[in-house]
Amino acid sequence: MDNRPWVELIKIDGSINPAVSHFIEDSIASAQVGGARALIIQLDTPGGLMTSAERIIKDLFAAPIPVIVYVAPTGASAASAGTFITEAAGIAAMAPGTNIGAAHPVTENGGDVKGELGTKVENYAAMLARNTARQRGRNEDWAEKAVRNSVMIGDREALESKVIDLVATSIPDLLKQADGRTVELAGQKVTLHLADAIVRQRSMTLGQTVFDTLADPNLVYLLMIAGVLGLYFEFAHPGVYLPGVVGAICLLVALASFQILPVTLSGLLLMLLGVVMLASEAFVTSYGVMGIGGVVALLIGSLLLIDTSKTDIAVQHSIVYGAAGSLSAIILLISYFIARERGHIATTGREGLIGEVAEVRQPIAPDAPGKVFVHGEIWRASSSDELPAGSHAQITSISGLELKVRKTG
What is the DSSP track for 327-385?
Answer: HHHHHHHHHHHHHHHHTSPP-STTGGGTT-EEEEEE-BBTTB-EEEEETTEEEEEE-SS
Beta-carbon contacts of residue 369 (< 8 Å; ≥ 6 apart):
380, 381, 382, 402
Tell me, what's the pLDDT at 171?
Answer: 96
Q: How far is CA 130 from CA 16, 92, 148, in A?
A: 20, 15, 11
Q: Are strands 370-374 and 357-362 parallel, antiparallel or unpaired?
A: antiparallel
In one letter, which amino acid is 351?
E
| Farthest CA pair distance, the chain | 115
Give the Cα separation of 167 and 124 in Å (integer).
29
Q: Where in the chain is the domain with CATH 2.40.50.140?
A: 351-407
Displacement of CA 255 from its chain's centroid (Å): 9
Is the pTM value of this prediction over 0.75? no
Which residue numbers in the chain have pLDDT < 50?
1, 107-114
Q: Residue 253 region, left (φ>0) first, then alpha (ψ -120 to 50), else beta?
A: alpha
In one letter, which amino acid is 334?
I
Handedness of CA 303, 306, 311, 312 (dihedral sign): negative
Tell me, what's the pLDDT at 282?
Answer: 61
What is 351-407's CATH topology?
OB fold (Dihydrolipoamide Acetyltransferase, E2P) (2.40.50)
Closest CA to 14 of 81, 103, 89, 105: 81
What is the CATH code for 6-206? 3.90.226.10
Q: Where in the chain is the domain with CATH 3.90.226.10?
A: 6-206
The three-state secondary structure class of 208 is helix
Mean pLDDT of the chain: 84
Give the Cα separation of 214 and 7 in Å (integer).
29
Give the Cα separation of 77 and 61 in Å (integer).
22
